[in-house]
Amino acid sequence: MAKNTIMLVCSAGMSTSLLVAKMEKAAVARDLDADIFAVSASEADTHIEKKEIDVIMLGPQVRYMKGQFEKKVAGKGIDVAVIDMKDYGMVNGEKVLDTALSLIK
């Protein structure tokens, strides 16, 4: 299976670090080849330009930026979704990984 690249975006890029760790653990348990990383909203543009990203998952605190991100990636085949607030708060890496994988084309 090809490597899946999942970018999580939050206000400062730090509140999602624990979620990234849980998602990576879930990916390893499933034998998935995945590059999962978190960045701040201000750093996201650089990563969008430099990396081949499959899906962008926004933290609930930056959900208001969904339309902006959709415009930035229009025509690139990258889905943008907001992480469910409950899954985010519970740091449910398995569920967030499932959601991300379901969006990858």
- Report d(CA 60, CA 39) in Å as an integer: 14
Q: Which two tokens stand for residue 71?
A: 């415009």
Residue 46 has, within 13 A of its CA and on its CB side, a CA count of: 6
- Report d(CA 41, CA 27) in Å as an integer: 24
Handedness of CA 42, 57, 4, 97 (dihedral sign): positive
Q: Which two tokens stand for residue 7?
A: 């970018």
- Residues belonging to the active site: 10
DSSP 11: S
